[in-house]
């Protein structure tokens, strides 16, 4: 798959500390790439560098197959950005807000109707933004960010502080957007969210990329060398992934004493713990 974005040994210091250190990664066209890490790891800084809100100190960045220095203002019309602080105008209705952003992005008014239906806000379009619920607000903000059908969408903690039901709605929307061709670069500290949504994830800690790959591949890579067996007596037996362990499982199955067999794959949070020795 073609790369839409590529970073090579990118560095940036903020207040003399490295915010980003030798960051190398690529985002392929059509994927949802999850950028994970705890608060202060460098996720938002990376988005700011990629969207030219901050300048890197060294390293190379390619965006839409050209060096970022050559990326002009028109290219940024191919991008949508939703940050954790994005907001719409409170005294305007959802529809007025979206019409305004449609004008700014130079897309026809028809796009407003389409996106309102897509994010499920068509019925409430006349409601002033300030009178919307948190979930409605987040959907409206997302609609404004994607009204011009961007090729690349940066999402900075899009579900931060939202309740599980709204989070699920946003996830559905993101999958839908991705299926219609939008590449998504998503930062989150919610490992479960990344696991559910992303084709590939990069884990960042203190400005360094410490792991990168498909969630399933990472889990297999960091899987413990153990298999857990639940017996009829509800006892858990742990065996190694070797000849001896295989023999033990065989025996238990033959004796009809085996209820379940589970390999021990860590979740992304446990991988982070293994890599850094710290809690996420």
Partner 1 sequence: MNISGRKIKTLYIKDFKDLFKNSSVLIGCLIPVLFILLYKNMTFGNMHMPEEFLIKLGMVFNLGMVPLMIISTTVAEEKEKNTMRTLMLSNVSGLEFFISKMLVPVTFLVVSDALIYLIVGMDMKYFPGFMIFNFLGSVSMVMIGGVIGIMARDQMSAGVYQVPAMLILFLPSVLSAVNETIEKIAKCTPTEAVSNLFFSQVDKSFASAGLFFSIAVLLLWSAAATAVFALMYRKKGVDN
State how far the Cα of 58 lies from the Cα of 74, in Å rounded to an integer: 25
Q: Which ranges of 180-280 would DSSP assign to H, the alpha helix?
A: 191-197, 215-221, 243-254, 268-276
Number of residues that bind partner 1 (CB under 8 A): 25
111 binds partner 1 (CB under 8 A): no
103 binds partner 1 (CB under 8 A): yes
Q: What is the enclosing helix (H) or strand (E) of 110? A: helix 110-118
Question: Contact 220/265 with Cβ under 8 angstroms?
Answer: yes
Site for partner 1 in 123-152 (CB under 8 A): 141, 144-145
Question: Applying CB under 8 A, which of residues 18, 64, 100, 122 lies at the interface with partner 1?
Answer: 100
Q: In this complex, which beta carbon is closest to partner 1, that of residue 21 or of residue 83?
A: 83
Shortest Cβ 187–partner 1 spacing (Å)? 14
Question: Contact 222/270 with Cβ under 8 angstroms?
Answer: yes
Q: What is the DSSP letter of 68?
A: G
What does the radius of gyration of the chain's CA atoms come to, in whole angstroms?
22
Q: In this complex, which beta carbon is closest to partner 1, that of residue 87 or of residue 259?
A: 87
192 binds partner 1 (CB under 8 A): no
122 binds partner 1 (CB under 8 A): no
Q: What is the enclosing helix (H) or strand (E) of 50? A: helix 43-50
State how far the Cα of 257 lies from the Cα of 236, in Å rounded to an integer: 11
Site for partner 1 in 37-96 (CB under 8 A): 51, 53, 73, 76-77, 81-83, 85-92
Question: Applying CB under 8 A, which of residues 29, 105, 127, 149 lies at the interface with partner 1?
Answer: 105
Q: In this complex, which beta carbon is closest to partner 1, that of residue 53 or of residue 238?
A: 53
**Strand, helix or coil at 169?**
helix
Shortest Cβ 97–partner 1 spacing (Å)? 9
Task: Point out which residues bind partner 1 (CB under 8 A).
Answer: 51, 53, 73, 76-77, 81-83, 85-92, 100-101, 103-106, 141, 144-145
């Amino acid at each position: 798959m073609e790369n839409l974005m590529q970073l090579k040994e990118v560095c940036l210091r903020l207040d003399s500390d490295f915010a980003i250190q030798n960051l190398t990664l690529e985002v392929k066209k059509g994927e949802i790439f999850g950028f994970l890490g705890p608060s202060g790891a460098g996720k938002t800084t990376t988005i700011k560098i990629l969207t030219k809100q901050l300048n890197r100190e060294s390293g190379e960045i390619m965006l839409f197959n050209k060096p970022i220095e050559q990326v002009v203002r028109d290219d940024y019309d191919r991008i949508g950005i939703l940050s954790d602080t994005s907001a719409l105008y409170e005294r305007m209705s959802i529809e007025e807000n979206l019409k305004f952003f449609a004008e700014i992005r130079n897309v026809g008014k028809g796009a407003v109707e389409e996106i309102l239906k897509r994010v499920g806000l068509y019925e409430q379009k006349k409601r002033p933004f300030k009178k919307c619920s948190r979930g409605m607000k987040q959907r409206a903000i997302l609609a404004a960010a994607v009204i011009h059908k961007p090729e690349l969408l940066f999402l900075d903690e899009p579900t931060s502080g939202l309740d599980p039901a709204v989070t699920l709605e946003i996830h559905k929307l993101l999958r839908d957007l991705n299926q219609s061709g939008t590449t998504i670069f998503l930062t989150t500290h919610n490992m479960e969210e990344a696991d559910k949504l992303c084709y590939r994830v990069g884990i960042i800690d203190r400005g360094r990329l410490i792991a990168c790959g498909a969630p399933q591949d990472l889990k297999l890579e960091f899987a413990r060398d153990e298999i857990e067996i639940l017996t009829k007596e509800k006892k858990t037996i742990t065996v190694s992934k070797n000849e001896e362990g295989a023999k033990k499982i065989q025996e238990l199955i033959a004796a009809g004493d085996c209820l379940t067999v589970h390999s021990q794959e860590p979740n992304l949070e446990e991988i982070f713990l293994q890599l850094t020795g710290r809690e996420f």
